[in-house]
């Protein structure tokens, strides 16, 4: 197995990790209650999915 002959500098390590940054999650608004939710998921506030009620939510 190959073994590094010299220590890698900080700048080279940082350059290698430049693509590891986290990106912000894409949020869409619910068509019924206008709450921000993840796309392709049931709204946890009102239970709406694709214009119809998918689950029953207490108090809504």
Q: Where are the domains of the chain?
A: 23-60
pLDDT tens, position by position, 15-49:
999 999 999 999 999 998 999 999 999 999 999 99
| In contact, 48 and 30? CB cutoff 8 Å | yes
In this prediction, residue 58 carries a pLDDT of 81
In this prediction, residue 55 carries a pLDDT of 87
The mean predicted confidence, pLDDT, of the chain is: 91
Q: Is the pTM of this model over 0.75?
A: no
């Amino acid at each position: 197995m190959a073994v590094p002959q010299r220590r890698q500098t900080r700048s080279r390590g940082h350059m290698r990790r430049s693509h590891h940054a986290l990106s912000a999650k894409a949020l869409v608004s619910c068509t019924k209650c206008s709450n921000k939710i993840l796309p392709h998921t049931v709204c946890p506030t009102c239970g709406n999915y694709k214009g119809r009620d998918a689950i029953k939510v207490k108090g809504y």
